[in-house]
Amino acid sequence: MWKVILFAHDFSECAERVEPVVIQLARTHCARVVVCHVTQLTNGLSPQTLISPPGEEGPITVGEYTMRTGRERLAAIGKRIAHDCVEVETAVILDEIHTGILRAAKDYRAEVIVMGTHGRTGLSHWLLGSVAEKVLRQAEVPVLTLRSHVSTQAPAEERVLDDEMSG
């Protein structure tokens, strides 16, 4: 029986489609759900970089702004999941995405990681990599990946590039 479920959420439609499965698992196992969002900053951008977002009194660091925005979005998701009588905790992490998910699983003593997968193939998989694949390979606990029902057919431009690269 799993007592702690780490739900990796990237604020995508794919992750939203996984929520009912996470809720059902939590109910079945009487488990606590840790909804985790990991943000990775663009290469070369420091978390200490100052920005002035609209509506802010003064400058704020990118790291602080990113973490605050993530916490606000996760709070709404946590509230939605908790509405279904599931104990929920949220965590926002600033790190490489797969590394942050693995660290959160360890820190929260998760017994399973649940995450959606976009099912990318071809060029987009090659360029973007697969977070789910990296987590699957390195996790010390079971990982349940659920492929989104959203159309995973690559855009026409990407299919042309795939054809060109394959010869």
Six-digit token pair at 97?
């995405």
Alpha carbon distance 3, 140 (integer Å): 16
Show Cβ contacts of residue 150 under 8 Å, excluding neighbours closer than 6 positions: 13, 14, 17, 118
Show Cβ contacts of residue 107 under 8 Å, excluding neighbours closer than 6 positions: 91
Residue 120: pLDDT band (50, 70, 90) is low
Element (H, E) at 90: strand 88-94
Give the structural domain span for 106: 4-165
Alpha carbon distance 28, 119 (integer Å): 27
pLDDT tens, position by position, 27-60: 999 999 999 999 998 877 888 888 888 887 888 8
* pTM, two decimal places: 0.80
CATH assignment at residue 109? 3.40.50.620
Domain count within the chain: 1
